[in-house]
Amino acid sequence: MAAIKSIKQLLEAGEFVWAPCIYDCVSARVVEMCGYNACLVSSCELEFSMNGIPAGLYNWEEYIWAAERICNSTTLPVIMDGENGGGTPMMVYRNCKRLAEAGVMAISIEDTLTGSVAVDYGYGHGRGYMDRELWATNVAAACDAVKGTDCMIIARTDCKGGGAAQIGAIAGNEFCLGLDEAILRAQMGVQAGAPITMIQNICHADCKDECLRIAREVPGYHFYPDVHATNGVPDATLEEMQEWGFQLVSNHAAMKGATKGMLEYLSNNFKNRNSVYSENDEFGLGHVFTPFKMEDWIARDQKYIAYEKELRSKK
């Protein structure tokens, strides 16, 4: 498989990009089955699923290995949370070049010093942020790396602070630099060549004024990060985001939903001491959920069986 449309094509056609966070081939396929027009590989969810350790501690071979397989498992364009890309311009260039070659259609490059070690929401910001000049140079290197491809670079800054209270908003941290600095960095990201910017920690209730200011002062496409809900009410609706000047959004649901389903199925089977509960067909999933069509593989295998049989018949 490969993406039918790129992120660039969706944006140029005026489509709002809603890219739920995913972590493997199955979650990417399920996002596609649900009707979304893109998906985003979450670095923390990928790390949890592969290694069970904090995000930011993977090695780039693991990351690119996963990207290649995920991109080949869906016809949706895949966005990659690229952390800080390796931290230096040459590392960023090499890693982004390889991700684009793997089929990734957009890569975010951020300004964290830790690579966003995500033990919890706040800890990854406890080391502060790289200076704006180094980060902007990293963004420029990333843009160079994807020239001539359909891949786009997202200049992401995490330095603002604040965010949604329900996920542990970063406030009062000595390393938080505020919205003025975040906007300045986003502007530098655009100047470095990034067509999309993302300012983290604007995802909270009553975020309208911040969003309007960002859209007013930062050129290009704007990515709203990880939309949340407060007391059962969306912090921002998709329609509001578009009115405020944003064209892309992500949210975390796949890993939580998969874990909830596994807990429900497995705990009921364990309690009932049989598999009756998990073999219900509420969603038409069948006895074993197979999200990928195997007909092409079966046909190819049959072709080679027939060819081998023909060769043997000529002995």
The domain segmentation of the chain, as residue ranges, is 7-259
Percent of the chain whose pLDDT exceeds 70 = 88
Answer whether CATH 3.40.50.620 is correct for domain 7-259: no
The answer for residues whose C-beta is within 8 angstroms of residue 296's C-beta and 6 or more apart is none
Residue 58 predicted with pLDDT over 50: yes
Percent of the chain whose pLDDT exceeds 90 = 71
**pLDDT tens per residue, range 159-206:** 998 765 555 455 556 678 899 999 999 999 999 999 999 999 898 889
Residue 272 predicted with pLDDT over 80: yes
**Which DSSP symbol is given to 123?**
G
pLDDT for residue 29: 95
pLDDT for residue 173: 62
pLDDT for residue 168: 47
Residue 80 predicted with pLDDT over 50: yes
Tokens at residue 11, please?
């944006």
Residue 121 predicted with pLDDT over 90: no
Could you tell me the CA-to-CA distances from 50 to 44, 45, 58, 107, 233 in Å, in that order? 10, 9, 9, 20, 33
- Using the structure block, give the residue that is written with the tokens 């390393």: 175
Q: What pTM did the predictor assign?
A: 0.92
Residue 50 predicted with pLDDT over 70: yes
- Give dist(CA 60, CA 75) in Å, integer: 24
pLDDT for residue 56: 65
**pLDDT tens per residue, range 196-236:** 999 998 988 899 999 999 999 999 999 999 999 988 999 99
Please give the helix or strand (H or E) that residue 274 lies within, else none. none
pLDDT band at 279 (very low <50, low <70, confident <90, very high): confident
